[in-house]
Structure 1
Amino acid sequence: MDVFYGAIQALFSVSLEVDEGEIVTLIGANGAGKSTLLKTISGLLKPRTGSIYFENEDLTKKSPIEIVKSGISHVPEGRRVFPEMTVIENLELGAYVRKDRSEVEKDLKIVFERFPRLYERRNQLAGTLSGGEQQMLAIGRALMSRPRLLLLDEPSMGLAPILVSEIFEIIKEINARGTTILLIEQNANMALSVANRAYVIETGRIVLSGTSQEVASNPDVKKAYLGG
Protein backbone atom coordinates (compact mmCIF):
# COMPACT_ATOMS: atom_id res chain seq x y z
CA MET A 1 0.00 0.00 0.00
CA ASP A 2 0.97 3.64 -0.51
CA VAL A 3 0.32 6.24 2.19
CA PHE A 4 0.68 10.02 1.92
CA TYR A 5 0.70 13.00 4.27
CA GLY A 6 -0.84 15.56 1.92
CA ALA A 7 1.45 15.58 -1.12
CA ILE A 8 4.32 13.80 0.64
CA GLN A 9 4.51 10.03 0.26
CA ALA A 10 5.38 8.23 3.52
CA LEU A 11 4.95 4.54 2.59
CA PHE A 12 5.82 3.01 -0.78
CA SER A 13 4.20 -0.31 -1.84
CA VAL A 14 4.43 -1.64 1.72
CA SER A 15 3.23 -5.21 2.12
CA LEU A 16 3.46 -7.28 5.28
CA GLU A 17 1.50 -9.94 7.10
CA VAL A 18 1.08 -10.94 10.71
CA ASP A 19 -0.18 -14.46 11.34
CA GLU A 20 -2.40 -15.36 14.25
CA GLY A 21 -0.46 -15.97 17.47
CA GLU A 22 2.76 -14.33 16.28
CA ILE A 23 4.84 -11.45 17.53
CA VAL A 24 6.08 -9.60 14.45
CA THR A 25 8.44 -6.66 14.81
CA LEU A 26 9.08 -3.76 12.48
CA ILE A 27 12.58 -2.29 12.70
CA GLY A 28 13.77 0.97 11.22
CA ALA A 29 15.30 4.36 11.96
CA ASN A 30 13.30 7.37 13.13
CA GLY A 31 11.22 8.71 10.25
CA ALA A 32 11.31 5.43 8.31
CA GLY A 33 7.51 5.10 8.35
CA LYS A 34 6.95 2.69 11.25
CA SER A 35 4.39 4.76 13.17
CA THR A 36 2.71 5.74 9.89
CA LEU A 37 2.12 2.06 9.19
CA LEU A 38 0.49 1.44 12.58
CA LYS A 39 -1.67 4.56 12.23
CA THR A 40 -2.83 3.30 8.84
CA ILE A 41 -3.73 -0.15 10.21
CA SER A 42 -5.73 1.46 13.03
CA GLY A 43 -7.57 3.79 10.65
CA LEU A 44 -6.02 7.11 11.73
CA LEU A 45 -4.57 7.41 8.22
CA LYS A 46 -6.02 6.04 4.98
CA PRO A 47 -3.88 4.40 2.26
CA ARG A 48 -3.95 6.08 -1.17
CA THR A 49 -3.65 2.63 -2.79
CA GLY A 50 -3.86 -0.91 -1.46
CA SER A 51 -5.96 -2.57 1.24
CA ILE A 52 -5.62 -3.80 4.81
CA TYR A 53 -7.27 -7.09 5.70
CA PHE A 54 -7.85 -8.45 9.19
CA GLU A 55 -9.46 -11.89 9.54
CA ASN A 56 -10.62 -11.68 5.88
CA GLU A 57 -12.31 -8.32 6.50
CA ASP A 58 -11.29 -5.20 4.57
CA LEU A 59 -10.50 -2.45 7.09
CA THR A 60 -9.61 0.21 4.54
CA LYS A 61 -12.95 2.05 4.65
CA LYS A 62 -13.62 1.52 8.36
CA SER A 63 -13.39 4.25 11.00
CA PRO A 64 -10.92 3.90 13.90
CA ILE A 65 -13.81 2.98 16.26
CA GLU A 66 -15.01 0.25 13.87
CA ILE A 67 -11.45 -1.07 13.68
CA VAL A 68 -11.26 -1.31 17.50
CA LYS A 69 -14.58 -3.18 17.42
CA SER A 70 -13.08 -5.52 14.80
CA GLY A 71 -10.45 -6.58 17.36
CA ILE A 72 -7.42 -4.30 16.87
CA SER A 73 -6.00 -2.08 19.63
CA HIS A 74 -3.21 0.49 19.24
CA VAL A 75 -0.81 1.62 21.98
CA PRO A 76 0.61 4.80 20.43
CA GLU A 77 4.12 6.14 20.74
CA GLY A 78 4.45 8.41 23.78
CA ARG A 79 1.79 6.49 25.76
CA ARG A 80 -0.97 9.13 25.39
CA VAL A 81 -2.77 8.41 28.64
CA PHE A 82 -5.43 10.93 29.73
CA PRO A 83 -3.50 12.82 32.45
CA GLU A 84 -6.50 14.47 34.14
CA MET A 85 -8.35 11.15 34.54
CA THR A 86 -7.62 8.50 37.14
CA VAL A 87 -5.96 5.18 36.36
CA ILE A 88 -9.28 3.35 36.64
CA GLU A 89 -11.05 5.90 34.40
CA ASN A 90 -8.34 5.48 31.75
CA LEU A 91 -8.77 1.69 31.87
CA GLU A 92 -12.56 1.89 31.67
CA LEU A 93 -12.21 4.17 28.64
CA GLY A 94 -10.33 1.33 26.92
CA ALA A 95 -13.54 -0.73 27.10
CA TYR A 96 -15.82 2.00 25.71
CA VAL A 97 -16.79 -0.11 22.65
CA ARG A 98 -17.99 -2.98 24.88
CA LYS A 99 -21.43 -3.52 26.36
CA ASP A 100 -20.67 -6.60 28.53
CA ARG A 101 -20.21 -4.81 31.87
CA SER A 102 -19.64 -7.94 33.95
CA GLU A 103 -16.91 -9.11 31.55
CA VAL A 104 -15.36 -5.62 31.60
CA GLU A 105 -15.12 -5.89 35.41
CA LYS A 106 -13.39 -9.27 35.01
CA ASP A 107 -10.89 -7.79 32.55
CA LEU A 108 -10.23 -4.90 34.92
CA LYS A 109 -9.27 -7.45 37.58
CA ILE A 110 -6.99 -9.25 35.10
CA VAL A 111 -5.24 -5.96 34.22
CA PHE A 112 -4.74 -5.21 37.93
CA GLU A 113 -3.35 -8.73 38.49
CA ARG A 114 -0.92 -8.23 35.61
CA PHE A 115 0.02 -4.70 36.75
CA PRO A 116 -0.18 -4.61 40.57
CA ARG A 117 1.28 -1.08 40.57
CA LEU A 118 -1.75 0.17 38.65
CA TYR A 119 -4.01 -1.33 41.29
CA GLU A 120 -2.07 0.50 44.02
CA ARG A 121 -2.50 3.76 42.07
CA ARG A 122 -6.01 3.09 40.72
CA ASN A 123 -7.47 6.36 42.07
CA GLN A 124 -4.44 8.49 41.17
CA LEU A 125 -4.48 10.87 38.19
CA ALA A 126 -2.67 9.25 35.25
CA GLY A 127 -0.55 12.39 34.78
CA THR A 128 1.10 11.81 38.18
CA LEU A 129 2.40 8.32 37.26
CA SER A 130 6.01 7.59 36.32
CA GLY A 131 6.87 6.88 32.68
CA GLY A 132 6.95 3.14 33.28
CA GLU A 133 3.59 3.20 35.05
CA GLN A 134 2.07 5.25 32.23
CA GLN A 135 3.33 2.67 29.72
CA MET A 136 1.72 -0.12 31.77
CA LEU A 137 -1.49 1.92 31.87
CA ALA A 138 -1.43 2.46 28.09
CA ILE A 139 -1.00 -1.29 27.51
CA GLY A 140 -3.64 -2.13 30.13
CA ARG A 141 -6.07 0.33 28.53
CA ALA A 142 -5.53 -1.28 25.11
CA LEU A 143 -6.16 -4.75 26.56
CA MET A 144 -9.52 -3.62 27.95
CA SER A 145 -11.01 -3.78 24.44
CA ARG A 146 -10.02 -7.49 24.30
CA PRO A 147 -7.97 -7.13 21.11
CA ARG A 148 -6.97 -10.09 18.99
CA LEU A 149 -4.24 -7.92 17.43
CA LEU A 150 -2.26 -5.47 19.57
CA LEU A 151 -0.24 -2.72 17.86
CA LEU A 152 2.61 -1.52 20.10
CA ASP A 153 4.52 1.62 19.10
CA GLU A 154 7.83 2.05 20.96
CA PRO A 155 6.74 0.56 24.31
CA SER A 156 10.20 0.90 25.89
CA MET A 157 10.89 4.48 24.84
CA GLY A 158 12.30 6.59 27.67
CA LEU A 159 12.22 3.78 30.23
CA ALA A 160 15.02 2.66 32.55
CA PRO A 161 16.66 -0.66 31.50
CA ILE A 162 15.06 -2.62 34.37
CA LEU A 163 11.60 -1.42 33.28
CA VAL A 164 12.34 -2.26 29.64
CA SER A 165 12.88 -5.89 30.67
CA GLU A 166 9.64 -5.83 32.64
CA ILE A 167 7.64 -4.42 29.71
CA PHE A 168 9.05 -7.08 27.37
CA GLU A 169 8.14 -9.85 29.82
CA ILE A 170 4.60 -8.45 29.81
CA ILE A 171 4.57 -8.41 25.98
CA LYS A 172 5.60 -12.09 25.91
CA GLU A 173 2.93 -12.97 28.47
CA ILE A 174 0.18 -11.13 26.55
CA ASN A 175 1.19 -13.03 23.43
CA ALA A 176 1.31 -16.37 25.30
CA ARG A 177 -2.29 -15.77 26.37
CA GLY A 178 -3.36 -15.60 22.73
CA THR A 179 -3.01 -12.00 21.55
CA THR A 180 -1.18 -11.45 18.26
CA ILE A 181 1.27 -8.52 18.39
CA LEU A 182 2.78 -6.14 15.84
CA LEU A 183 5.63 -4.38 17.61
CA ILE A 184 7.61 -1.27 16.72
CA GLU A 185 10.67 -0.84 18.89
CA GLN A 186 13.85 1.26 18.73
CA ASN A 187 15.59 -1.36 20.86
CA ALA A 188 16.10 -3.79 17.96
CA ASN A 189 17.98 -6.35 20.06
CA MET A 190 15.08 -6.57 22.49
CA ALA A 191 12.46 -6.65 19.74
CA LEU A 192 14.20 -9.44 17.83
CA SER A 193 14.63 -11.46 21.03
CA VAL A 194 10.82 -11.72 21.54
CA ALA A 195 9.54 -11.71 17.93
CA ASN A 196 8.87 -14.67 15.65
CA ARG A 197 9.44 -12.68 12.47
CA ALA A 198 10.74 -9.24 11.54
CA TYR A 199 10.55 -6.65 8.79
CA VAL A 200 13.06 -3.87 8.20
CA ILE A 201 11.70 -0.59 6.84
CA GLU A 202 13.84 2.19 5.35
CA THR A 203 12.46 5.48 4.02
CA GLY A 204 8.97 4.05 3.66
CA ARG A 205 9.94 0.79 1.95
CA ILE A 206 10.24 -2.74 3.34
CA VAL A 207 13.82 -3.75 2.48
CA LEU A 208 14.15 -7.04 4.35
CA SER A 209 11.99 -9.66 6.04
CA GLY A 210 12.46 -13.07 7.60
CA THR A 211 12.53 -14.91 10.89
CA SER A 212 13.97 -12.92 13.79
CA GLN A 213 17.12 -15.07 13.66
CA GLU A 214 17.58 -14.43 9.94
CA VAL A 215 17.12 -10.69 10.30
CA ALA A 216 19.33 -10.49 13.43
CA SER A 217 22.17 -12.29 11.65
CA ASN A 218 22.02 -10.05 8.55
CA PRO A 219 25.29 -8.04 8.41
CA ASP A 220 23.56 -4.80 7.33
CA VAL A 221 21.02 -5.09 10.16
CA LYS A 222 23.80 -5.81 12.67
CA LYS A 223 25.68 -2.75 11.55
CA ALA A 224 22.70 -0.37 11.39
CA TYR A 225 20.51 -1.47 14.30
CA LEU A 226 22.26 -3.94 16.59
CA GLY A 227 25.45 -2.11 17.44
CA GLY A 228 27.48 -4.63 15.45
Structure 2
Amino acid sequence: MLEVKDLHVHYGVIEALKGVSLQVEQGKIVSLIGANGAGKTTMLHAISGIVKKSGGSIAFLGNDITKAKAKNIVEQGLIQVPEGRRIFTGLTVYENLMMGAFLRKDKEGIQKDLQRCYELFPILSERTNQDAATLSGGEQQMLAMARALMAQPKLLLLDEPSMGLAPILVKEIFSIIEEINKNGTTILLIEQNAKMALSIADKAYVLETGNIVLEGSGKELLNSANVQKAYLGG
Protein backbone atom coordinates (compact mmCIF):
# COMPACT_ATOMS: atom_id res chain seq x y z
CA MET A 1 0.00 0.00 0.00
CA LEU A 2 2.78 2.42 1.00
CA GLU A 3 6.38 1.95 -0.08
CA VAL A 4 9.15 4.30 0.99
CA LYS A 5 12.53 3.73 -0.67
CA ASP A 6 15.89 5.27 0.29
CA LEU A 7 14.26 8.44 1.61
CA HIS A 8 16.48 11.42 2.42
CA VAL A 9 15.36 14.69 4.02
CA HIS A 10 17.61 17.64 4.84
CA TYR A 11 16.99 20.69 7.01
CA GLY A 12 19.75 22.91 5.68
CA VAL A 13 23.01 21.02 6.22
CA ILE A 14 21.42 18.61 8.71
CA GLU A 15 20.34 15.26 7.26
CA ALA A 16 17.24 14.23 9.22
CA LEU A 17 16.53 11.04 7.23
CA LYS A 18 19.46 9.11 5.80
CA GLY A 19 18.07 6.71 3.25
CA VAL A 20 15.07 5.27 5.09
CA SER A 21 13.02 2.46 3.52
CA LEU A 22 9.80 0.94 4.88
CA GLN A 23 6.60 -0.71 3.71
CA VAL A 24 3.04 -0.65 4.98
CA GLU A 25 0.78 -3.47 3.80
CA GLN A 26 -2.94 -2.92 3.40
CA GLY A 27 -5.00 -3.73 6.49
CA LYS A 28 -2.01 -3.77 8.86
CA ILE A 29 -0.82 -1.66 11.78
CA VAL A 30 2.82 -0.65 11.33
CA SER A 31 4.63 1.08 14.22
CA LEU A 32 7.71 3.26 13.95
CA ILE A 33 9.42 3.80 17.30
CA GLY A 34 12.46 5.81 18.31
CA ALA A 35 13.75 8.45 20.69
CA ASN A 36 13.09 12.18 20.40
CA GLY A 37 15.00 13.60 17.45
CA ALA A 38 15.25 10.25 15.66
CA GLY A 39 13.33 11.59 12.64
CA LYS A 40 9.92 10.01 13.24
CA THR A 41 7.81 13.13 12.68
CA THR A 42 9.99 14.12 9.71
CA MET A 43 9.16 10.73 8.23
CA LEU A 44 5.42 11.36 8.49
CA HIS A 45 5.76 14.90 7.16
CA ALA A 46 7.73 13.62 4.18
CA ILE A 47 5.07 11.00 3.42
CA SER A 48 2.30 13.62 3.77
CA GLY A 49 4.04 16.08 1.44
CA ILE A 50 4.67 18.64 4.18
CA VAL A 51 8.47 18.62 3.88
CA LYS A 52 10.61 18.45 0.76
CA LYS A 53 12.48 15.25 0.02
CA SER A 54 16.13 15.45 -1.06
CA GLY A 55 16.30 11.87 -2.33
CA GLY A 56 14.43 8.59 -2.60
CA SER A 57 10.83 7.81 -3.52
CA ILE A 58 7.39 7.31 -1.95
CA ALA A 59 4.62 5.28 -3.60
CA PHE A 60 1.04 5.07 -2.32
CA LEU A 61 -1.42 2.60 -3.86
CA GLY A 62 0.96 2.23 -6.77
CA ASN A 63 1.16 5.99 -7.45
CA ASP A 64 4.39 7.96 -7.09
CA ILE A 65 3.66 10.71 -4.55
CA THR A 66 7.27 11.76 -3.93
CA LYS A 67 6.70 15.25 -5.34
CA ALA A 68 2.92 15.47 -4.86
CA LYS A 69 1.41 18.38 -2.95
CA ALA A 70 -0.09 17.71 0.47
CA LYS A 71 -3.65 18.44 -0.74
CA ASN A 72 -3.32 15.89 -3.56
CA ILE A 73 -1.98 13.29 -1.13
CA VAL A 74 -4.99 13.85 1.17
CA GLU A 75 -7.31 13.44 -1.82
CA GLN A 76 -5.81 9.98 -2.42
CA GLY A 77 -6.79 8.90 1.11
CA LEU A 78 -3.54 9.35 3.01
CA ILE A 79 -4.49 11.28 6.17
CA GLN A 80 -2.32 12.41 9.09
CA VAL A 81 -3.26 13.07 12.71
CA PRO A 82 -0.51 15.50 13.74
CA GLU A 83 1.50 15.52 16.93
CA GLY A 84 -0.10 17.85 19.46
CA ARG A 85 -3.62 17.24 18.03
CA ARG A 86 -3.90 20.64 16.25
CA ILE A 87 -7.64 20.87 16.76
CA PHE A 88 -9.38 24.10 15.71
CA THR A 89 -10.07 26.11 18.86
CA GLY A 90 -12.94 28.54 18.54
CA LEU A 91 -14.86 25.92 16.55
CA THR A 92 -17.22 23.38 18.09
CA VAL A 93 -16.54 19.65 18.14
CA TYR A 94 -19.05 19.25 15.30
CA GLU A 95 -17.39 21.99 13.23
CA ASN A 96 -13.98 20.37 13.75
CA LEU A 97 -15.37 17.07 12.48
CA MET A 98 -16.83 18.78 9.42
CA MET A 99 -13.40 20.28 8.69
CA GLY A 100 -12.19 16.71 8.30
CA ALA A 101 -14.75 16.20 5.53
CA PHE A 102 -14.04 19.46 3.68
CA LEU A 103 -12.98 17.70 0.45
CA ARG A 104 -16.06 15.47 0.36
CA LYS A 105 -19.34 16.11 -1.49
CA ASP A 106 -21.33 13.01 -0.44
CA LYS A 107 -23.70 14.44 2.20
CA GLU A 108 -25.23 11.08 3.13
CA GLY A 109 -21.81 9.48 3.49
CA ILE A 110 -20.63 12.37 5.65
CA GLN A 111 -23.58 11.95 8.02
CA LYS A 112 -23.01 8.20 8.16
CA ASP A 113 -19.34 8.69 9.04
CA LEU A 114 -20.26 11.35 11.60
CA GLN A 115 -22.50 8.84 13.39
CA ARG A 116 -19.73 6.24 13.19
CA CYS A 117 -17.33 8.69 14.85
CA TYR A 118 -19.86 9.41 17.60
CA GLU A 119 -20.23 5.65 18.18
CA LEU A 120 -16.46 5.20 18.29
CA PHE A 121 -15.96 8.27 20.51
CA PRO A 122 -19.19 8.68 22.55
CA ILE A 123 -17.76 11.61 24.53
CA LEU A 124 -17.62 13.65 21.31
CA SER A 125 -21.34 13.16 20.81
CA GLU A 126 -21.92 14.57 24.30
CA ARG A 127 -19.60 17.51 23.56
CA THR A 128 -20.76 18.13 19.98
CA ASN A 129 -21.70 21.81 20.51
CA GLN A 130 -18.82 22.67 22.83
CA ASP A 131 -15.83 24.76 21.77
CA ALA A 132 -13.06 22.23 21.10
CA ALA A 133 -10.75 24.31 23.31
CA THR A 134 -12.78 23.24 26.37
CA LEU A 135 -12.02 19.53 25.87
CA SER A 136 -9.50 17.65 27.98
CA GLY A 137 -6.25 16.44 26.41
CA GLY A 138 -7.65 12.94 25.90
CA GLU A 139 -10.86 14.29 24.39
CA GLN A 140 -8.87 16.53 22.04
CA GLN A 141 -6.86 13.50 20.88
CA MET A 142 -10.09 11.64 20.20
CA LEU A 143 -11.38 14.64 18.26
CA ALA A 144 -8.21 14.81 16.16
CA MET A 145 -8.54 11.12 15.30
CA ALA A 146 -12.27 11.41 14.56
CA ARG A 147 -11.63 14.46 12.37
CA ALA A 148 -9.15 12.38 10.35
CA LEU A 149 -11.67 9.54 10.00
CA MET A 150 -14.15 12.00 8.50
CA ALA A 151 -11.76 12.27 5.54
CA GLN A 152 -12.25 8.53 4.83
CA PRO A 153 -8.58 7.56 5.13
CA LYS A 154 -7.23 4.54 3.32
CA LEU A 155 -4.04 4.97 5.34
CA LEU A 156 -4.08 6.80 8.68
CA LEU A 157 -0.82 8.31 9.93
CA LEU A 158 -0.80 8.80 13.71
CA ASP A 159 1.92 10.99 15.24
CA GLU A 160 2.41 10.40 18.99
CA PRO A 161 -1.28 9.84 19.87
CA SER A 162 -0.47 9.05 23.52
CA MET A 163 1.63 12.16 24.19
CA GLY A 164 0.73 13.88 27.44
CA LEU A 165 -2.09 11.49 28.32
CA ALA A 166 -2.67 9.66 31.61
CA PRO A 167 -1.96 5.88 31.48
CA ILE A 168 -5.66 4.95 31.61
CA LEU A 169 -6.35 7.21 28.59
CA VAL A 170 -3.36 5.79 26.73
CA LYS A 171 -4.93 2.32 26.98
CA GLU A 172 -8.24 3.70 25.72
CA ILE A 173 -6.62 5.47 22.75
CA PHE A 174 -4.73 2.33 21.73
CA SER A 175 -7.88 0.25 22.05
CA ILE A 176 -9.62 2.69 19.69
CA ILE A 177 -6.68 2.52 17.25
CA GLU A 178 -7.11 -1.26 17.11
CA GLU A 179 -10.85 -0.83 16.55
CA ILE A 180 -10.24 1.61 13.68
CA ASN A 181 -7.90 -0.94 12.12
CA LYS A 182 -10.43 -3.77 12.53
CA ASN A 183 -12.95 -1.58 10.68
CA GLY A 184 -10.64 -1.62 7.65
CA THR A 185 -8.27 1.35 7.98
CA THR A 186 -4.54 0.71 7.56
CA ILE A 187 -2.40 2.52 10.15
CA LEU A 188 1.16 3.83 10.35
CA LEU A 189 1.80 4.73 13.99
CA ILE A 190 4.63 6.93 15.25
CA GLU A 191 4.95 6.56 19.00
CA GLN A 192 7.39 7.03 21.89
CA ASN A 193 5.45 4.58 24.06
CA ALA A 194 7.29 1.65 22.53
CA LYS A 195 5.62 -1.06 24.60
CA MET A 196 2.10 -0.03 23.57
CA ALA A 197 3.09 0.64 19.96
CA LEU A 198 4.76 -2.75 19.54
CA SER A 199 1.99 -4.64 21.35
CA ILE A 200 -0.56 -3.74 18.64
CA ALA A 201 1.76 -3.71 15.61
CA ASP A 202 1.75 -6.31 12.84
CA LYS A 203 5.12 -4.94 11.76
CA ALA A 204 7.48 -2.45 13.38
CA TYR A 205 10.61 -0.44 12.69
CA VAL A 206 13.12 1.22 15.00
CA LEU A 207 14.45 4.60 13.82
CA GLU A 208 17.66 6.01 15.28
CA THR A 209 19.23 9.29 14.14
CA GLY A 210 17.62 9.08 10.70
CA ASN A 211 18.32 5.39 10.06
CA ILE A 212 16.20 2.24 10.37
CA VAL A 213 18.26 0.02 12.66
CA LEU A 214 15.78 -2.80 13.34
CA GLU A 215 12.62 -4.20 11.79
CA GLY A 216 10.39 -7.18 12.39
CA SER A 217 6.97 -8.11 13.71
CA GLY A 218 5.72 -6.16 16.71
CA LYS A 219 6.13 -9.28 18.86
CA GLU A 220 9.71 -9.87 17.67
CA LEU A 221 10.78 -6.33 18.53
CA LEU A 222 8.89 -6.44 21.84
CA ASN A 223 11.01 -9.47 22.76
CA SER A 224 14.26 -8.06 21.34
CA ALA A 225 16.95 -7.57 24.00
CA ASN A 226 18.21 -4.44 22.20
CA VAL A 227 14.76 -2.88 22.09
CA GLN A 228 14.03 -3.80 25.70
CA LYS A 229 17.28 -2.21 26.83
CA ALA A 230 16.88 0.98 24.79
CA TYR A 231 13.11 1.60 24.90
CA LEU A 232 11.41 -0.64 27.43
CA GLY A 233 13.60 -0.21 30.48
CA GLY A 234 14.70 -3.85 30.35
TM-score, normalising length: structure 1:
0.98
Quick check: which one's strand share is greater? 2
1:157-204: CA deviation from partner (whole Å, max 9, x where unpaired): 111111111101100000001100000111111011100111000000
SS in 2 for 1:26: strand
| Corresponding position of 1:180 | 186
Q: Which amino acid aligns with 1:11?
A: L
| Corresponding position of 2:26 | 20
1:204-228: CA deviation from partner (whole Å, max 9, x where unpaired): 0000101112111221110010110
Give the aligned length: 228
Match of 1:114 among 120, 127, 133: 120
Q: Which amino acid aligns with 1:89?
A: E
| Corresponding position of 1:33 | 39
Q: Which amino acid aligns with 1:178?
A: G
Distance 1:74 1:108 in 2: 18
Distance 1:6 1:102 in 2: 47
Match of 2:160 among 139, 154, 163: 154
Distance 1:114 1:177 in 2: 11
| Alignment pair present for 1:171 and 2:177 | yes
Q: 1:10 offset after TM fit, Å?
A: 0.4
The aligned runs of 1:27-176 (5 Å cut-off) are 27-176=33-182
| Corresponding position of 1:192 | 198
Match of 1:207 among 213, 220, 227: 213
SS in 2 for 1:155: coil
SS in 2 for 1:13: strand
Q: 1:7 offset after TM fit, Å?
A: 2.5
1:98-137: CA deviation from partner (whole Å, max 9, x where unpaired): 1111111111111011111001111111111000000000
- Unaligned 5+ runs, structure 1: none
Distance 1:213 1:106 in 2: 36
SS in 1 for 2:216: strand
| Corresponding position of 1:221 | 227
1:35-59: CA deviation from partner (whole Å, max 9, x where unpaired): 0000111110121111110110011
Q: Which amino acid aligns with 2:27?
A: G
Q: Which amino acid aligns with 2:128?
A: R
Distance 2:65 2:11 in 1: 19
Identical aligned pairs, as a percentage?
62
Distance 1:98 1:7 in 2: 40
